[in-house]
Amino acid sequence: MTASLRRIVHIDMDAFYASVEQRDDKSLCGKPVAVGGNRARGVVAAASYEARKFGVRSAMPSITAQRQCPSLVFVPPRFEVYKAVSQQIHNIFRRYTSVIQPLSLDEAYLDVTTPLIDCGSATALAAEIRAAIKAETDLTASAGVSYNKFLAKLASDHRKPDGLFVITPRQGPAFVESLPVGKFHGVGPVTAQRMNALGIYTGLDLRRQSLAFLSRHFGKAAAYYYGVARGEDDRPVEADRERKSFGAETTFAQDLTAWDEVKPALASVFARLWSAYERGAPGGRTVTVKLKFVDFRQITRSRSAPEAITTRVELERISLDLLRSCFPLMLPVRLLGVTISNLGGEGHPSHQLALPFDQVADASTSPSVPDVMVGHRISVTA
pLDDT-based confidence at residue 280 (cuts at 50, 70, 90): low
Tens of pLDDT along 288-321?
999 999 888 899 999 999 888 989 999 999 999 9
Calculate mean pLDDT across residues 142-165.
96
Q: Could you give the CA distance from residue 305 to residue 289 in angstroms, rounded to a whole number? A: 14
* Strand partners of residue 293: 333
Calculate mean pLDDT across residues 242-249.
78
Tell whether omega for the bond before 328 is within 30 degrees of 0, i.e. cis: yes
Tens of pLDDT along 104-126?
889 999 999 999 988 999 999 99
Domain boundaries, the chain: 11-145, 172-228, 245-381
Calculate mean pLDDT across residues 152-175.
96
Which CATH number applies to 245-381: 3.40.50.20, 3.40.50.10860, 3.30.1490.100, 1.20.120.140?
Answer: 3.30.1490.100
Q: Class assignment of domain 11-145? A: alpha beta
Predicted local distance difference test score (pLDDT) of residue 320: 96
Q: Active site includes 50?
A: no
Tens of pLDDT along 200-222?
999 999 999 999 999 999 999 99
Q: Class assignment of domain 172-228? A: mainly alpha
Tens of pLDDT along 313-371?
999 999 999 999 999 999 999 999 999 988 864 433 333 333 333 333 333 333 333 33
Tens of pLDDT along 31-62?
999 998 877 778 898 999 999 999 999 888 89
Q: State the amino acid at position 191 in one-letter form.
A: T
Predicted local distance difference test score (pLDDT) of residue 38: 76
CB-CB contact of 183 with 154 (8 Å): yes
Name the catalytic one among 21, 50, 107, 316: 107
Please state, in angstroms and as integers, the Cα–Cα distance from residue 181 to each residue in 158, 184, 217, following that order: 15, 5, 15
Q: Could you give the CA distance from residue 356 to residue 306 in angstroms, rounded to a whole number? A: 12
pLDDT-based confidence at residue 189 (cuts at 50, 70, 90): confident
